[in-house]
Copies of this chain bind each other. A is one copy, B any other.
Amino acid sequence: MTQHLLGLEGMNVGQITRILDTARSFEEILERPVKKVPTLRGRTIINAFFEPSTRTRVSFELAQKRLSADVVNISNSGSSISKGETLRDTIANLEAMKVDMVVVRHPTSGAPHLLAACTKAAVINAGDGAHEHPTQGLLDLYTMRSRLGSLEGKRVTIVGDIEHSRVARSNIWGLRSVGAHVTVCGPRSMMPKGIEALGVNVEYDLRRAVREADVINVLRIQFERHGTSLFPGAREYARLFAITNDVLRDTKPECFVMHPGPINRGVEIASDVADGPRQVILQQVTNGVAVRMAVCYLYAGGAQAGDEARAPSRPEDEASVTAANVA
């Protein structure tokens, strides 16, 4: 592994596969009554969320606590940031406190990369501006792989505001890396110029975009962020791009629908699709915890050889997952 997880751009199929395979071992733990292993006992992880988040922060925090890490949360309000400290000084301070990993969400694209450049702690990007959201990309890949097996040659259509979506970007990099075909679809005002250079097909007609798809990944439309500057309004958007049962009738019968949440019912996805048999939205949420357990395990040092945390020698410990049978 590299030291940091900043994005899926540049990550090769072997690296991605290792994370997904590790996540599979952790998925099984989530079905037990005692969902806890001592793997990261005595490791310290900071969740630094400089942008509002519930689901991603809770997902990471659950993953970390189930690995027995010590977890401390920082949010924007009440932080040194508001005292004018530079991000670089903040990370230097956390490193000086002997923190093993910093999970960072930041409104500015590239902020996690800046942090990573000046610390020995592992930096995990939990979403930076409109750039990348690699653990979301990985959990999407994991979910697709669980249903489809190998993703090589599979057809994934991503629908929504491609330009402003870090989820889209991480999906594209990850899917291209494992050999899937990607089509992006959305209004022209939400389509970045030159996106074809990433190796994707661009399609402005929803029906054509999903006809051959094995998976439709629906993006959240953030009207609360962009107002109506990019599109006349939610109703107009829904009329052209919402995934409805009617749209699904024209797809392959085994094609299924994904969404990173939180969903806008009646905007990008119809309520009966969001609750229907063709979607795997809540399975994505479950997989997210397993994937984040894998990421924390692999990047916070749990997987290092000779590590004390590796092979718990306490046979009475019901948490019998060791690095050996996980990795």
Contact = CB atoms under 8 A, between A and B. Distances in A.
A84 B319 CA distance: 38
A301 interface: yes
A316 B84 CA distance: 46
A225 to B, nearest CB: 9
Given A31-B98, A35-B98, 16 more contacts: A34-B308, A36-B42, A36-B70, A42-B319, A52-B78, A52-B83, A53-B80, A55-B80, A58-B72, A58-B94, A62-B98, A65-B72, A75-B78, A84-B224, A90-B262, A98-B289
A229 interface: no
A46 interface: yes
The 3 closest A-B pairs by CB, nearest first: A34-B42, A36-B42, A96-B285
Contact of A84 (B30, B54, B93, B264): B264
Interface in A48-93: 49, 52-55, 58-59, 61-62, 65-66, 70, 72, 74-75, 77-86, 89-90, 92-93
B34 A41 contact: yes
A46 to B, nearest CB: 7
Interface in A292-327: 301, 304, 307-309, 313-314, 316, 318-319
A215 to B, nearest CB: 19
A3 interface: no
A232 interface: no
B316 A286 contact: no
Contacts of A98: 30-31, 35, 62, 286, 289
B33 A307 contact: yes
A265 interface: yes
Contacts of A75: 78
